[in-house]
A and B are shown apart, each in its own frame.
Chain A
Amino acid sequence: MRHFTKKLKAVSLAIMTISMSAQSLAEDIAITGAKIYTMGEAGVIESGTVLISDGEIKQVLDSQRVPNGYREIDATGKVVTPGFIGALTNLGLVEVGMSAGTVDARAGAHPVSTVGAAYDVQYAINKDSTIIPITRIEGFTSAITGMSGTGQLFNGQGAIIGLEPGFNSTLKAKAYAHADLNNNGADRSGGSRASLWVALNQSLEEAGFAANYEFSPTKAWEGWITSADAKALAPVISGEIPLLVTANRAADILQALALKEKFANLNLVLVDATEGWRVAEQIAAANVPVILNPEDNMPSGFDHLGATLENAGKLHAAGVKVAIGMNTHNIRLAAQHAGNAVANGLPYEAGLASLTSNVASIFNVDNMLGSLTPGMRADLVIWSGDPLEVTEAAEVVIINGEEIEMTSRQIQLRDRYLNQDKSKPVSYR
């Protein structure tokens, strides 16, 4: 697994080097004086130095030191964290969702797939989306991105992307599969959990069979799922990539956990887990992490009656790894979501982990993202203060070793209208 991602990283770095050959290589930077939450083995450093070289974290020191040739950024009194990771987004797959043309984050039925597992977002990612600069200037440096719906059982195969400028920043394609095992999922798969779960089991059984099957256009594949679906799901059965399952009520969560009895290698991740707090011990015992929105406390349906602000805190207390951040246009607000989880019982550092290291480990990219550890991709943020406070902000954002320009379409709109010169039409300002 690790070997695989390392190789991918090497490939993407190679592409990066080629595409940027006209520019200088990433500069060496020393960030000094900040309180550093490494989210790795080095823990919290009250006032230290982060050294960045060749796009990687070179060293994290508990003292102030600027080696020769390093540009110093004085961050005295500030807070440094790893770049935040959007835990579940549609970034690059949508610009405007409603009545505004093609949205790659959703799809309808197509003969290539019976259950939606085969769809693959790696071909759809548009790094020119204005949402990406709007997101990265607020301290989000990478994201998990995938489809929100296919009208079928699975939401296709998602990807992990870096949010730096430039086209080639897919860190991992075919990074996970995702199925909705809640009221919505039931509605799309026959109208009942009684049909949904049979369809799910059938899909996974066939995919398990496909692992040892030589696909060939001259040989008939007579499974219910298409051969493309089967190929996409094979690494789910082997546990190579995680299977995300959205489940809300406690009974659905327990059904999801029981999948591991039948498919032993499943690398299961719960999404939402609205009533997860009721079965937190079982989730912890199954070693299944959860991606959730801690502000979701409305009994919005009959599978959400136990919704509570304390879900994240209670899951963590039971030993469940929690990640936070499900949105797209406002994935930047995940820091506020995590802050509210902290206000309702999640320990502070678990709040930071929910935006960084926990996301990275859930998606098997903790060898690259999510902590300030030597050798990791240099994604980090200097914050004006506590990043979970709604009144604080990212001041410097470094992605893949490069300090990004803190601008976006929104900043430019703001500045145009802060300009009070009315002598000319606005389009000349």
Chain B
Amino acid sequence: MRSKSSMRMLGVSLAISTLFLTACGDDKKAQQSAQDNPFPSTYQPIESKPVVITNVTILDGIGGKIDKGAILLEDGKIVAVGKSVKSPSDALEVDGTGKWVTPGIIDNHSHLGVYPSPSTHSHSDGNEMTGPVTAEVWAEHSVWPQDPGFQRALAGGVTSMQLLPGSANLFGGRSVTVKNLPNRSVQDMKFPEAPYGIKMACGENPKRVYGSKGGPMTRMANVAGYRKAWIDAQEYRKKWDAYNAALEEGKAGEAPKRDLRMETLAGVLRGDILVHMHCYRADEMAVMMDVMKEFDYKIGTFHHAVEAYKISDMLAENNVCSAMWADWWGFKMEAYDGIRENIPMVHNAGACAIVHSDSDIGIQRLNQEAAKAWSDGKRAGIDISQAEAWQWLSANPAKSLGIFEHTGSLEEGKNADVVLWTADPFSTYAKAEKVFIDGAMVFDLNNPELQPVSDFELGQTFLGGAQ
């Protein structure tokens, strides 16, 4: 419960600073913290009783499978996983006969909240198409927590996701990682320990959007644009590093002026902000991995990566993840070479493969997307177990988002973000029956009270709803 204790700490320090105005040390600290983290998470797990699921097939999310196993969730954490577990007497017992348990699905590419339903023009908050470099904007300031897409994704077993700005810009802005438990504000959803990400984009989109608006109008100008921005960011970082070093030595001069755009880019260069780069073509990904070396930053994940299969060895060497669709292709030139075996081929090369949605429909059945890729790979001679393949849905996206320490697998001590499926989740007919976030049952296929409804859908004449 790091969130709780840090909240309390912040509360205490604010209280102190209010009571003792002379204590300017504390005052400065609070100010500093508001500057470093001006929109802190206010996420609170829902209180829950212990839950034990028995006689269930378990995919632990890191390659292990237990037949007729059991899992205990308590105090928001996974407490035990095995053939059998000891459970407290007050635990809710769920018979999992014929059912499957997996870690909650994590979608590292969603635009829920920033392109919400209904998709009216007034809701179009995902692409700041006013200039190719808008690293200063933050997706969380666009997120509408009442997007009914969150509840539908929950019915598909999605427990966490990254909400990204669109891909019109070379630098589209900061992303935010959230728990799929929307409440009154985006802060209420923010995954407490998640680092920030930045959305970048290769290829067709920036040149299409800016080709007649001052550029870039070519791929070569895209690359010039990234490099120019990194040069500016290096300089900005140097200024602040010098100031901070002087401050440490007690020789503080005047602080340089903050620049929100440069703050984000410098955060990437420092390794604090993870890079999520929309890139389809193999040749462009290869160029971007050279730009990354030139400026000594890390590309965490290529998104869409429709041609990742062509450079799977390079992706493995550079330790860059690829977040992919199972079978989308052909809707634009850079998606023309999509193949159904992309995901298993990337996995097979030892690189990090992720199944992502980029869609309010696709996010509802990412398990089926993984199943398609898994079986297509098998038919092409790439033999991966279901237990291995589940990494594409939970562990690998968690790594891509910097939250694997906390979630993404069924390991003792991790957040109890868990899905109970009605059947083998690699089947078209399987559904998420119960979904747990931090140990609390937040969705139940058989209990309308645990089928949340957003403000938007409340009181409409007819409710379609997640089902």
Contact = CB atoms under 8 A, between A and B. Distances in A.
Interface stretch (B74-82, B330-338, B394-402): B330-338
B372 A295 contact: no
Interface string B455-467: 0110011111111
Given A305-B460, A410-B340, A329 B329 contact: yes
**Main secondary structure on chain A at its contact with chain B?**
loop
A393 B379 contact: yes
A418 interface: yes
B212 interface: no
Nearest to A302: B118
Nearest to A391: B375
B330 A305 contact: no
Given A343-B428, A391-B427, A414-B339, A298 B360 contact: yes
B371 A391 contact: yes
B204 interface: yes
Contacts, number: 133
Contacts of A299: 117-118, 148, 456-457, 460, 464
Contact of A297 (B152, B310, B428): B152
Interface stretch (A58-66, A76-84, A162-170, A334-342): A334-342
Nearest to A311: B464
A382 to B, nearest CB: 14
Interface string A308-345: 11100000000000000000011011001001101110
B462 A305 contact: yes
B333 A100 contact: yes
Nearest to A415: B380
B15 interface: no
Contact of A390 (B118, B341, B368): B368
A1 interface: no
A96 interface: yes
A121 to B, nearest CB: 19
Interface residues of A, number: 47
Interface in B329-358: 329-333, 336-341, 345
B120 A301 contact: yes
B426 interface: yes
Given A305-B462, A410-B338, A390 B375 contact: yes
B118 A330 contact: no
A98 B332 contact: yes
B390 to A, nearest CB: 14
Contact of A340 (B331, B345, B428): B428
Interface string A92-111: 00011111100000000000
Contact of B464 (A95, A98, A297, A301): A297
Contacts of B208: 99
B149 interface: yes
B331 A96 contact: yes
Contacts of A95: 330
* Most-contacted residue by chain B among A301, A302, A329 (CB, 10 A): A329
B361 A417 contact: no
Given A391-B371, A414-B380, A343 B431 contact: yes
A45 B152 CA distance: 39
Contacts of B376: 393
Determine the interface band of chain B, counting residues with CB < 8 A from chain A: 35 or more
Contacts of A298: 117, 148-149, 152, 360-361
A275 interface: yes
A413 B337 contact: yes
Nearest to B342: A414
Nearest to B460: A305
B204 A99 contact: yes
A275 B462 contact: yes
Nearest to B152: A297
A308 B360 CA distance: 14
Contacts of A97: 330-332
A390 B371 contact: yes
Interface string A169-213: 000000000000000000000000000000000000000000000
Contacts of A295: 361, 364-365
A339 B337 CA distance: 27
A296 B464 CA distance: 11
B462 A301 contact: no
A330 B372 CA distance: 13
Contacts of A392: 375
B428 A390 contact: yes
Contacts of A393: 375-376, 379
A330 B463 contact: no
Contacts of A332: 327
* Most-contacted residue by chain A among B460, B464, B465 (CB, 10 A): B464
Contact of B428 (A307, A336, A417): A336
Contact of A413 (B331, B339, B429): B339
Contacts of B374: 391
A310 B467 CA distance: 7
B39 interface: no
A388 interface: yes
Contacts of B226: none
B310 A417 contact: yes
B61 to A, nearest CB: 20
Contact of B427 (A300, A389, A414, A417): A389
Q: 3 nearest interchain CB pairs? A: A339-B428, A308-B464, A391-B375
7 contacts: A98-B333, A306-B461, A336-B368, A339-B429, A340-B365, A343-B429, A390-B428
Given A296-B361, A299-B460, A414-B380, 20 more contacts: A96-B336, A98-B204, A99-B208, A297-B466, A298-B117, A299-B117, A299-B464, A300-B117, A300-B119, A305-B460, A329-B328, A336-B368, A340-B368, A343-B430, A389-B427, A390-B368, A393-B379, A413-B337, A414-B340, A417-B309
Interface of B: 117-120, 148-149, 152, 204, 208, 309-310, 327-333, 336-341, 345, 360-361, 364-365, 368, 371-372, 374-376, 379-381, 426-431, 456-457, 460-467
